[in-house]
Amino acid sequence: MRVFILGNGKVGRGLARGLRRAGWTVEVRAGRAGIPSRPITSPLLVLAIRDAELDRFCRELAGRKLVGKRTACVHVAGALGPEALESIRASCAGVAQMHPMISFADPDHPPTLHHGNLHVSGDPIAVRRARAVARALGMTARTVPGLDRVGYHAAAGLVANGAAALAAIGVELLVRSGVDRAEAPRMLGPLLRSVADNVEALGFPAALTGPVRRGDANAVRKQLRLVGERLPEAVPLFIAAARAQLPIARALSDATPADLDAVEELLGASPA
């Protein structure tokens, strides 16, 4: 399939790279360059632009008759449904949401898309072509009927961006514990990947590891004291993260209720 990607940022460039590797013919135009001057004839148009610009771009594309009935249009926003492309729906073959649940951080270092998830929803022909994208990229296309997209996007952002923030704090703690700053991210990256593997393969509660799971209040106390000494601004985050582990640990039952109560009491008595 041929695909036209409007938007040359992190997501647009990442999708283009993956599809080209799969043998697709891909044309990419930067969003800042505006809409093209000639009609788009590719079977699929991917709008990889900012959410707030979708309606304006669609209105211009429809108004200038740059998209015809042979082209399906999809966007990659996580919090918006296919209705975000309503202003171009009558002009094209169909519209859909096509959101990759993947963390795109740098346009020059696109993430691995293989084995990722692509949420698709919308008109049948647009959904079929979005699913073809998923197959080409080695991703799993998912459609969740009645999905609360704001909640879905919040969950994705909490995990992706929250994990990055936690890792940044971890880097600082490693540096203050004697690790070279350039090496610290290289140490934490594989750790994060192992967590991701456990979450995917084991789910919860089995993916949890560490002293909270074991009900080791003494280990948690030592770590909390050390964080308070070396990185005091991270204490509230440490406590919140440990508290969030408690219900998972209780579901596992590896530790006794009394040991987990001791951990909970320690965290509750700590300044938040």
Q: What is the DSSP string of 187-217?
A: HHHHHHHHHHHHHHHH-TTTT--SHHHHT-H
**Peptide bond connecting 211 to the previous residue in cis, omega within 30 degrees of 0:** no
Say whether pLDDT at 271 is over 90: no
Question: Which tens digits make up the pLDDT trace of 55-72?
Answer: 999 999 999 999 999 999
Sheet architecture: strand order including 140-142? 25-29, 2-6, 44-47, 72-75, 94-100, 117-122, 140-142
Q: What is residue 180's predicted lDDT score, i.e. its pLDDT?
A: 97
Q: Confidence band (pLDDT; 50, 70, 90) for 270?
A: low
Question: Which tens digits make up the pLDDT trace of 180-225?
Answer: 999 999 999 999 999 999 999 999 999 999 999 999 999 999 999 9
Q: What is residue 272's predicted lDDT score, i.e. its pLDDT?
A: 44
Question: Which tens digits make up the pLDDT trace of 143-167?
Answer: 999 999 999 999 999 999 999 999 9
Q: What is residue 1's predicted lDDT score, i.e. its pLDDT?
A: 84
Q: What is residue 71's predicted lDDT score, i.e. its pLDDT?
A: 97
17 vs 10: CA distance, rounded Å: 11
Q: Confidence band (pLDDT; 50, 70, 90) for 119?
A: very high
Q: Confidence band (pLDDT; 50, 70, 90) for 269?
A: low
- pTM equals 0.88
User: Token pair 């001791």 is at which residue?
Assistant: 262
Q: What is residue 222's predicted lDDT score, i.e. its pLDDT?
A: 97
Q: Which domains does the chain have, with CATH numbers?
A: 2-142 (3.40.50.720), 149-269 (1.10.1040)
